[in-house]
Amino acid sequence: MRILVITVSDRAYKGIYEDKSGAVIIKTLEEKLKNKITNIEKVIIPDEFDIILNTLKENKEKFDIIITTGGTGLSKRDVTPEATESFCKKEVRGVSDYLRQESMKETIFASLSRMYAGINDNVFVVNFPGSEKAAKYCTDLIIPFLEHIVSMIKGEGH
């Protein structure tokens, strides 16, 4: 699997604080999917609709899975789900619903997360919240699905 982690954060992009959520996603994926990842990369971008959308478009052919972290909240700057939805051709609502539902078992504030999941041709994109704890939790939840998702998108069947 080829995986890109995109951290969407104005402050991390400007170097005001360290990107912990993207780092924990990478670490968790590498630990739990050791020999199944052929490439894993991370980028940090600001909370800008066009930049998020263009980053997704630019990496569409290079990766099987794109996980974003950040920009799923309620502030005016939180536009990751809207950019992701604009990029995707098909929504995979069950994944985002599952992540939110399971996360609400940890904190009621997960109900405020506007996570989105979908596909565009051969890439699966999913939005995670920007907190380190939530990003780790969602990564653990989605790992069992990733190989199956990639296989299905590539038309390899069940």
CA 8/CA 48 separation, integer angstroms: 8
* pLDDT tens sequence across 95-129: 999 999 999 999 999 999 999 999 999 999 999 99
Total count of domains within the chain? 1
| pLDDT for res 106 | 94
Looking at per-residue pLDDT, the higher value among 86 and 155 belongs to: 86
Residue pLDDT, tens place only, 138-150: 999 999 999 999 9
Q: How far apart are CA 97 and CA 91, in angstroms?
A: 11
Residue 156, pLDDT score: 86
The enclosing domain of 63 has a CATH number of 3.40.980.10
Residue span of the structural domain in which 63 resides: 2-154
Flag whether the pTM goes above 0.85: yes
